[in-house]
Amino acid sequence: MPGWSPHHTMAGMPGKVLLAAPRGYCAGVDRAVVTVEKALALYGPPVYVRKQIVHNKYVVHQLEERGAVFVEELDEVPEGSTVVFSAHGVAPAVHAEASDRGLKTIDATCPLVTKVHSEAKRFAAEGMQILLIGHEGHEEVVGTMGEAPEAMTLVESPTDANEVRVDPERPLVWLSQTTLSVDETLETVDRLRERFPHLQSPPSDDICYATQNRQAAVKRIAEQCDLLIVVGSGNSSNSVRLVEVGLESGASSAYRVDGVDELDEAWLEGVATVGLTSGASVPEVLVDGVLGWLADRGFGDVEEVTAAEETLVFALPPELRRDLKAAGSA
């Protein structure tokens, strides 16, 4: 390119990167990935995993190279094998099927998803109608609805909230998928409450702390960004939401990429400030790759903008901790 310098942007001036924090792995994702890694080390490959352990292509590929075998359903797992349930959770019917087939199970469901499952069971047992705010077909939604299908109705958007029907004589409560847009979820709840004033809220917010923190960090930088890059896979709900939040919060343009190979120099035309973040299932090595690519194109000035500090750590699944302790490798 004429006049190109590795130290200057396409506009000929040094460019800036606003790096959102927190970003990348949350406690639930870290726990799930480490669970598969330790299971492979302890039991030896293959270790089967139902669905993607987390929604990230790179992570799945890395684990496959170490001997993890990802399957869609349990009938693909040989009897007597070890199978890990993904961070997104499964319905009770899946646990029952695993038991019937004699599979050794390790449940890597994020504890925050497990909390929503517990709420669904409790509210259903109390005879309540449950409105689950979430995306149809998402693994987390499938698992949660499996806890009490007869009591639960899915509401996908504020528009859906205008059309859902309930029994006005029975108590009503809402729950949500943990990885949604905070703002859109609250808009949906507001619409529902306008129609159903007796609608109750869960005892604590269902949208996970990591989802909220990553969205808050993007809001902090979006207005200053000519371009926002979100690292994350297309099936990662929280990554897709970060693009939407960035655009809604003032970013001039925003793109989601799995990694450096999907970046396009054309995006940098006329850009002085790039915002960068990553979804909750994204390892930092992928962000580092994007930073290197940007630096080579004149965006070497990096400022980290912090919206929250995260210190939460989840213990490994109890069945894995037990086996690790017995093997002397806890």
> What are the Cα distances from residue 192, in Å, to 148, 185, 212, 312?
20, 11, 21, 32
> What are the Cα distances from residue 165, in Å, to 150, 170, 192, 199?
14, 12, 10, 13
Which of 119, 139, 140, 147 is flagged as catalytic? 140
Q: Please, are residues 156 and 112 in contact by the beta-carbon 8 Å criterion?
A: no
65 is catalytic: no
| Residue 51, SS3 per DSSP | coil
**Axis crossing angle, helix 57-65 with helix 27-43, rounded to the nearest 10:** 10
* CA dihedral sign, ordered 145, 149, 152, 158: positive
Q: Please, are residues 105 and 323 in contact by the beta-carbon 8 Å criterion?
A: no
Residue 48 neighbours by CB distance under 10 Å:
21
Q: Which residues contact 40 (CB under 8 A, 6 or more apart)?
A: 47, 63, 66, 67, 68
Residue 281 belongs to what H/E stretch? none
Query: Minimal CA–CA distance to 116: which of 95, 86, 147, 137?
Result: 147
Q: Kindly write down the DSSP assignment for every residue of 176-198, as one continuous string.
A: E-TTS-HHHHHHHHHHHHHH-TT
Tell me the β-bridge partners of 244: none
Catalytic residue annotation? 140
